Amino acid sequence: MIRIAAVVRFTCLAALSDHPDMFKWVKLGKVFDPTTGSRSEWMKEFAQAPCVLKFEDFIRVYFSCRPAPDSRGQYVSRSAYLDLDRKNLFNILSISEQPTIGLGDLGSFDEFGTYPTSVIRWNGQVWAYYGGWTRCDSVPFNVAIGLAVSNDDGATFSKSGPGPVLSYSQEEPFVISGPKIRQFGDKMFLFYIAGERWLTNSGRPEPVYRIRMASSRDGLIWKKHNEDLIPRRLETNECQASPDVYFSNGRYHMFFCYRYGLDYRNHSRGYRIGYAVSEDLEHWARDDSRAGIDVSSEGWDSEMVSYPHVFELDGSVYMLYLGNQVGRHGFGLARLEGSL
């Protein structure tokens, strides 16, 4: 039955797209713009890396935002959420009044930012895995993944410890970031990025990072897979981020974003959304031509699209994603026609 349904779907889409298996996402528009929709000093701009937690009447979208930069132009990144009406995802019910996760103490891995955040219901609590940012001397930053736990259904979080839950290791020497937490069967999986090398870039170093995975029984002790999951396509300096894995119809679907390693803050080299599929979580077949969502010809997502997050709600599959300037002006929503 499943196979027959798939054939029918492919036949229908063939008329609409170049690739017979391409997904079709219908862009519904921008959901939230922090530069106009927030009155908090700690939420002046950017609403990055959205991630959904479902409730009965609403969905809570976690994201990372920033206050104005300091006198040297440097930002910190804070974690926040907003609640969207389940019956109308463009109706914002409320916005968190305080950051959901505190910044780390002096000298800690997360002193200068918590970005991004990925949440899951686990053991009757809500667990948040987040990238903690510190500032370095020879390179601008380093990142390791922290854990914070909520006992009030995801409104406030306290850290499980002062240090990171997943950090640098022999094969992953720096920039352990972009966590996406999932449960498949009785195991937890973290999809994340790991830095491979820093490009000197004439004194303004930029990291090259790739998509990685770790698994755990308890969410605290993690076993790293220590392999790149997604082959490079653009160039050896390609950077990959936001590995968002969604299980549907017996397969694991990953939407992620990727860009060139340098000079990427523009239309031609900036982030695009890619796609890969796997039967076993370890072996992935990349086929960006199936992703089915690209930059618009004009408007808020005309230069880049990035940080996809796929979720199902009331019979439809949606994607939240960032537009130009990696979410400086917020995130938007698309709906899938058909199924994954």
Partner 1 sequence: MKWRKLGHIFDPSKHSLPNNCAEYAQSPQALVLQDRVRIYFSTRESEANGKFLSHIAFVDFNKKMDCCLGVSDRPVISLGSLGCFDEHGIFPMNVVQHGEDIYGFTCGWSRRVSVSVETSIGIAVSRDGGRTFERRADGPVMTSSLREPMLVGDPFVVMLGGVWHMWYIFGVKWAPANNVDPAPARVYKIAHATSVDTINWARDGKQIISDVFGPDECQALPTVLKIGRRFHMYFCFRQATDFRKNPHRGYRLGYAFSDDLVTWTRDDQSAGISFSPNGWDSAMLCYPHLFESEGSVYLLYNGNEFGRRGFGLARFEG
Backbone angles phi, psi at 58, to 5 degrees: -150, 170
Q: Which is nearer to partner 1, 2 or 106 (CB)?
A: 106
In the complex, least distance from residue 87 CB atom to partner 1, rounded to whole angstroms = 40
In the complex, least distance from residue 168 CB atom to partner 1, rounded to whole angstroms = 5
- What secondary structure does DSSP assign to 165-182, as a single string? SB--BTTB-EEEEEEEEE
Q: Which is nearer to partner 1, 61 or 241 (CB)?
A: 241
In the complex, least distance from residue 199 CB atom to partner 1, rounded to whole angstroms = 9
In the complex, least distance from residue 105 CB atom to partner 1, rounded to whole angstroms = 7
Type of residue at 173: P
Distance, first Cα to last Cα, the chain: 15
Q: Which residues bind partner 1 (CB under 8 A)?
A: 104-109, 111-112, 134-139, 142, 144, 147, 160-165, 167-175, 195, 197-198, 200, 205, 207, 220
Type of residue at 111: E
Q: Which is nearer to partner 1, 23 or 112 (CB)?
A: 112
Beta strand spans in 13-77 (E)? 24-32, 45-54, 58-66
Q: Closest Cα to residue 206, out of 259, 275, 244?
A: 259
Q: Which is nearer to partner 1, 145 or 273 (CB)?
A: 145
Q: Which is nearer to partner 1, 168 or 260 (CB)?
A: 168
Q: Closest Cα to residue 34, out of 20, 48, 54?
A: 48
Q: Closest Cα to residue 53, out of 315, 333, 311, 334?
A: 311
Q: What is the CA radius of gyration of the chain?
A: 19
In the complex, least distance from residue 302 CB atom to partner 1, rounded to whole angstroms = 33
Q: Beta strand pairing status for 58-66 and 45-54?
A: antiparallel
Q: Which is nearer to partner 1, 138 or 268 (CB)?
A: 138
In the complex, least distance from residue 132 CB atom to partner 1, rounded to whole angstroms = 10
